[in-house]
Amino acid sequence: MRALTRILFTGTALLTTVLNAQSLQNEDLKDLQIFREAVSLTELDKMLENKGAFTVFAPTDNAFGKLCTPESENLLGPDNREHLRAVVAYHIVAGELTASRILKALCQGKGSASFTTVLGEPLLATLDGTDIILTDCLGNQARIIRADSETDNLVYHEIDTVVLPATPGP
């Protein structure tokens, strides 16, 4: 019960911050250039433009800079489209998951919640203080550093690390 109370209290503090977030504008996209390019290269932008709501956990350009594997250096290259598509799809969840909905799921899940990405793999959410932490299938963790930016049918949450699917692609 104490843990649930702590989650609710920290969730309230986070919601106060989230309610002050502005909608996603072009100038706000400057830190998401690599992810935007990746979405376009994989043609997932067409899926996101279709009718329906989606949540995108968008890694910042700095997050992509943290990738230090030989495969990641050529991630945007033409020979890696399937792998890139899997990585990008792992950052997208169908439906509108605002920070308050994520917090509600965390409360219902006694401190953790799992969301299925459009790739079909789970992404685990937990709290660290007032921060929402996402953990991928490989144990890598990303922190939501800016929550609830919105466009017509998308909710964007900027994250500080690229999360990776268990399977690299088809």
Domains and CATH numbers, the chain: 2-159 (2.30.180.10)
DSSP designation for 22: P
DSSP designation for 28: G
Per-residue pLDDT tens over the stretch 62-115: 998 888 766 566 777 788 889 999 999 999 999 999 999 999 999 999 999 999
What mean pLDDT is predicted for residues 123-149?
Answer: 96
Please state, rounded to an integer, the average pLDDT across all residues of the chain.
82
Whole-number pLDDT of residue 72: 62
- The answer to whether 99 and 58 have CB atoms below 8 angstroms apart is no
Whole-number pLDDT of residue 4: 40
Whole-number pLDDT of residue 19: 29
Sheet with strand 122-128: strands edge to edge: 92-94, 54-59, 154-159, 141-150, 131-135, 122-128, 112-116
- Give Cα 163 distance to the centre of its chain: 8
Rg (CA), the chain: 16
Alpha-carbon distance of 79 to 76, in angstroms, equals 8
pTM over 0.85: no
At 149, list the tokens.
């930016």
Coil, strand, or helix at residue 61? helix
Alpha-carbon distance of 92 to 87, in angstroms, equals 10
Whole-number pLDDT of residue 106: 95
Decide if pLDDT at 38 tops 60: yes
Decide if pLDDT at 14 tops 70: no
| 166 vs 77, more confident | 166
Per-residue pLDDT tens over the stretch 22-36: 333 445 567 899 999
Report the share of the chain in percent with pLDDT over 90. 60
Decide if pLDDT at 146 tops 50: yes
